[in-house]
Chain A
Amino acid sequence: MAKKLDSYEEMIKGLWRENPVFVQVLGMCPMLAVTNSAVNAVVMGVATFFVLVSSSFLVSSFRGVIPKQVRISIYVVIIATFVTVADYTLLALVPAIHKELGAFIPLIVANCMILGRQEAYASKNSVKFAVLDAIGTAGGFMFALLALGGVREILGEGKIFGVPLFGDNFEPWVIMILPPGGFITLGLILLFFNWVTARRAARNQLQPQPVGSDIR
């Protein structure tokens, strides 16, 4: 291993500096589809968190015995297994939310962020760092989902987690919970992140790096 890994750094990087959504721009499909309310965002975030952390743990544990010729298939089998577990668990525990999330729970299998972490990180690092990295990345994903879901629910329905925030005179801005609202909100948040990145680069007297340039 070229550099020594710092466990705190490995975990914290996914939350902000390498946030999977706002910096790496991965996992856009669930990001836009299920963030029309804060509750949906949290449940989706928890399911993805479970799948990513469990998969990273297994992939890293067996990184010595998985032949590299069939590694992608095995990663997909591992991920799909945990997604099925999450799917049935949610169906049993929170059937109403499972219904609203619909096809997007099974589609966690196809979330490129998860397979990406296995290929780029868990298959090359020890179990401890793989799990920390997964916690950070999944935490960053959850944070992003919640940021988007929160903004959209507040503006689109005048509520947060189903609790009304404003009086009866509040006219919900319906477009915010429709697909265009997802794109508008995501665009504005990406704009903010790029601005932060550019400012940080300017302070360090470096060239600003465009979004997505540091995907590993």
Chain B
Amino acid sequence: MSEQPIQQMTQQDPTSTRLIISMAVAGFFSGLIIIGIYLATFDTIKENKARELKEAVFRVLPGVTQMSQHRLEKDRVVPYAGDPDENTLYAGFGENGDFIGYALTGAGPGFQDTIKVIYGYQPESDMGARLIGMWILDSRETPGLGDKIYKDAEFVGNFDALSIEPTIKVVKKGTKTKNSEVDAITGATISSKAVVRIINIANDKWLPHLPVNPPEAPPQTQTPTPSPTQEVQ
């Protein structure tokens, strides 16, 4: 297979070498472009994800101005600076560095796909251990019905002061009598129940391992932390 002038090639069938070279050249430039755009957008995408997470933590822990990241390892909660995973939790602190609560996550099947939930947990309050906020991180529930689990302020508001004792229960809308009951969304009972079930299961996983003494607030100085995912500001 010797190299031949291209002009001759267009008249007759090209050699297999030329076909392979054509594909290789196309693949090479494609690879260059793809890696280029990946590198160019990498930082922004990572920042977006970190900011989204931070906003979610601040949303479920009202009054929080700083947070620190921890991770459940075996049965102990330890400070953690790596990328968040399903065993990561967050501690939220008020302006004076006083501990407010934990932001815990849970995931489980919803009506259509996995629902990922983050919720604020306050170990001590005048009504005992309670939830102080809930937000949906990810879901594919039916638009217009199931997506009310995060679009319906009334349903989300259920979790703003919700006792977890003995356990959280879903009741028909308007029949809530106890502090530990949640009004279901009319037309999206399955999604409502899924959210509560996910939180109950997550509570079983987290609560036995949370330390008796809350973690220390991070230092007030706004020095950048070593890991870009752990933003303490």
A contacts, CB < 8 Å to B: 36, 64-67, 69-70, 73-74, 77-78, 80-81, 84-85, 88-89, 91-93, 95, 99, 156-157, 172, 174, 177-178
Contact mask B32-65 → A, CB, 8 Å, 1/0? 0110011011001100110010000000000000
Partner of B27 from the list A77, A84, A89 (CB cut-off 8 Å) is: A77
Residue pair B41, A67 in contact (C-beta under 8 Å): no
Partner of B34 from the list A70, A81, A91, A157 (CB cut-off 8 Å) is: A81
Q: How far is the CB of B135 from chain A (nearest CB, A)?
A: 14
Q: Which positions 1-25 of chain B face chain A at CB distance < 8 Å?
A: 6, 10, 13-14, 18-19, 22-23
Main secondary structure of the interface of A (DSSP, over half): helix
- Nearest 4 A-B pairs (CB), nearest first? A174-B144, A92-B41, A92-B44, A81-B30
Please name all residues of chain A whose beta carbon is closer than 8 Å to the beta carbon of B18 when the two chains form the complex.
Answer: 67
Partner of B22 from the list A65, A89, A178 (CB cut-off 8 Å) is: A65
Residue pair A70, B23 in contact (C-beta under 8 Å): yes
Residue pair A74, B23 in contact (C-beta under 8 Å): yes
**Complex formed: what's the CA distance from A93 to B6 in Å?**
43
Q: How far is the CB of B170 from chain A (nearest CB, A)?
A: 22
Partner of A172 from the list B38, B142, B144 (CB cut-off 8 Å) is: B144
List the A residue with the shortest CB-CB distance to B138: A99
Please name all residues of chain B whose beta carbon is closer than 8 Å to the beta carbon of A99 when the two chains form the complex.
Answer: 138
Residue pair A69, B37 in contact (C-beta under 8 Å): no
Residue pair A84, B34 in contact (C-beta under 8 Å): yes
B145 interface hit (Cβ, 8 Å)? yes
Please name all residues of chain A whose beta carbon is closer than 8 Å to the beta carbon of B45 when the two chains form the complex.
Answer: 88, 91-92, 95
Q: How far is the CB of A97 from chain B (nearest CB, A)?
A: 12
Please name all residues of chain A whose beta carbon is closer than 8 Å to the beta carbon of B41 when the two chains form the complex.
Answer: 88-89, 91-92
CB-defined A-B contacts under 8 Å, sample of 28: A67-B14, A67-B18, A67-B19, A70-B19, A70-B23, A73-B23, A73-B26, A74-B23, A77-B26, A77-B30, A78-B30, A81-B33, A84-B33, A84-B37, A85-B37, A88-B38, A88-B40, A88-B41, A89-B37, A89-B41, A92-B44, A95-B49, A156-B143, A156-B144, A174-B144, A177-B143, A177-B144, A178-B144
